[in-house]
Amino acid sequence: MDHKSYIAARIRLEGVETQEIAALIAVPPDTSLGDYALPCFRFAKLLRRSPVMIAEEIAAAYPADDVIVSAAAVNGYCNFRVNKRGLAEETLSRIEKEGDLYGSSAIGAGKTVCIDYSSVNIAKPFHIGHLSTTVLGGSLYKIFKFLGYDVVGINHLGDYGTQFGKLISAYKHWGDRAEVEKGGIHAVNALYVRFNSEATPEMEAEAREYFRLIESGDEEANALFEWFKSLTMAYVQKIYDRLHVSFDSYAGERFYIDKMQPVIDELKEKGLLVESQGAQVVDLEAYGMPPFIVLRSDGASLYGTRDLAAAFYRKRTYDFDKCLYVVAYQQNLHFKQLFKVIELMGMPWAKDLVHVAYGMVSLEEGAMSTRKGTVVWLEDVMTRCVEKAAKVLEEKNPDLENKAQVAETVGVGAVIFGALYNSKIKDIVFSYEKALNFDGETSVYVQYTCARAASVLEKAKEAQIAYMGAEIGDLTPAEAELVRALSEFPETVKTAASSYEPSVVARYAVSTAQKFNKFYIDCKIMQAPEAVRAARLRLTRAALTALTNALTLLGIGVPEKM
């Protein structure tokens, strides 16, 4: 049980739920008065006594024990002190026992979460705009798994639309098999771009015909489409591997083409479908939204129609408890409409659909590229960051082994971290310089801290110093702060999940690394007297475990040496 619940369970307040008390207990910014504080202002009205009196009553009645050693009232707050040695022993033992599972739990057992993320568009650039959805979704995937949920990662491929007819037409006119094979997604995309600027009206007509041919199952058209798709997928797969993300399903828009009709029929039956300028729509005016278009006047389906069919399919197939859509805030309206339509259809699970919206990522130096109208490919950003990481590492530690591998872990980690450190809804300007700052709020800083901890442990090993099971004595303030941070990791993971915010874990990693470094600088580890040294080594090892677990949940690797 965490401390907040522990304390709350020992407080009786007439008419107030234990949970409500637990939710109010907070860690004060200045812990000199106590490790936890319960503000009593909220209870004043209900209990008809002043907050000062209530706090005093709580303090007087609180049964202090080995875990919470004292309770004291100050100005309407009740402050609690934790048994620091007890907490240290409990936390370190738990981390030592659980290892790479420390922070995990079973709260999600028996529940399923679908996560729609990355959702790449076939034959289109995989650009910097796809970074957030890919790494946010990838991290949420790991976080929910860690909490015991069944997680289904879905890459809702953008693999349907008239653009594929255009692509075939462009390829037929200008394409060369060997060249496209070699150029991969870039060559495919170039054909598409060329079509959009150079296509004649005849080619436009031809493109429509090719699209129709794909639709009607024509062999050649489909073979070409599949080829373009496989080139795209081979390309993105390499990026997914480098970003440590994976998927359980690649059912994209095309997959739903034959699954739309039953949903459209149901809309009709329920009297929700109305005609508007020849199109079939669901009127959402009563909810202050434009109509949701289900079928265009020519009978064609839309992105939204496919999403509607996908939601029903996912519910049927996975019986999810939550279905998350990790998609940029530009699509806020789309998802609001989609969820509303499902709600109007009377589906109680409409409330389980969540749009996990995020802000834009741009490059600090990106203004130039935007002006030229060129897209910034995600792979280029990764490559660039790895190159820069290699340079920084070379300066810091020219003798480093496995330089290339470490640079990859550091550089790619910095790109991931750049997208995950801030609350997801914020727009982000990515700067290589800042992302690779060893002293900043960065993944490199955390990785470097891990390497530092690992190197201390390595020295202890070389000197054959045994420390496991060492008794924890009185703690210095820096040690106590670090222990406390370590003890808070499991709660942190849960908060990240419930708020769909990997940034909670990213921030935890930085602040815990800062606490480790304060401990490392304030307290001599290897030079300390034997008993103290052993306890500090245990603490070092536990910190390394917690930091490693935090980075792993973000999809970031931890080099052994840096």
Residue 119 vs 443, nearer CB to ligand ARG: 119
Compute φ and ψ for 113, nearest 5 degrees.
-120, 125
Structure tokens at 308: 């509607």
Q: What's the closest the beta carbon of residue 156 comes to ligand ARG, in angstroms?
A: 4
501 binds ligand ARG (CB under 6 A): no
For ligand ARG, the binding residue among 119, 132, 163, 517 (CB under 6 A) is 119
Whole-angstrom distance, CA of residue 83 vs CA of residue 335: 48
Among 56, 57, 116, 159, binds ligand ARG (CB under 6 A): 116
Beta strands in 75-204 (DSSP E): 77-82, 112-116, 150-154
Maximum CA extent, the chain:
87
Q: Closer to ligand ARG by CB, 41 or 349: give it.
A: 349
CB of 508 to ligand ARG, least distance (A): 28
User: Within 289-308, which residues bind ligand ARG (CB under 6 A)?
Assistant: 307
Instruction: Compute φ and ψ for 289, nearest 5 degrees.
Output: -125, 155
The stretch near ligand ARG (CB under 6 A) out of 116-124, 228-236, 438-446, 492-500 is 116-124
Q: Which of residues 127-166 bind ligand ARG (CB under 6 A)?
A: 156, 158
Q: CB of 304: closest distance to ligand ARG in angstroms?
A: 8
For residue 250, CA distances in Å to 164, 219, 254, 406, 456 come to 18, 22, 10, 31, 44
C-beta closer to ligand ARG: residue 121 or 134: 121
Q: Scanning residues 243 to 262, which ones bind ligand ARG (CB under 6 A)?
A: none
Smallest separation (angstroms) from ligand ARG to the CB of 245: 15
Q: Closest distance between ligand ARG and the C-beta of residue 191, in Å? A: 19
Element holding 429 (H helix, E strand): strand 428-430
Half-sphere exposure of 270 (CA within 13 A, CB side): 16
Q: Minimal CA–CA distance to 436: which of 456, 455, 422, 416?
A: 416
Smallest distance, Å, CB 317 to ligand ARG? 15
DSSP 330: G
Question: Token pair of 40, please?
Answer: 């009593």
**327 lines the binding site for ligand ARG (CB under 6 A):** yes
Cite the beta strand spans of 117-269 per DSSP E. 150-154
Cβ closest to ligand ARG, residue 62 vs residue 325: 325
Residue from 210, 240, 325, 519 that binds ligand ARG (CB under 6 A)?
Answer: 325
Q: Which stretch binds ligand ARG (CB under 6 A): 113-121, 237-245, 419-427, 527-535?
A: 113-121
Q: If binding means CB under 6 A, how many residues of this protein chain bind ligand ARG? A: 9
- Pick from 36, 232, 219: nearest CA to 127: 232
- Binding of ligand ARG at residue 232 (CB under 6 A)? no
Answer positive or negative: Cα dihedral of 462, 543, 530, 455.
positive
* Least spacing, CB of residue 316 vs ligand ARG, in Å: 16
Closest CA to 311 of 355, 248, 359, 280: 355
Residues that bind ligand ARG (CB under 6 A): 116, 119, 121, 156, 158, 307, 310, 325, 327
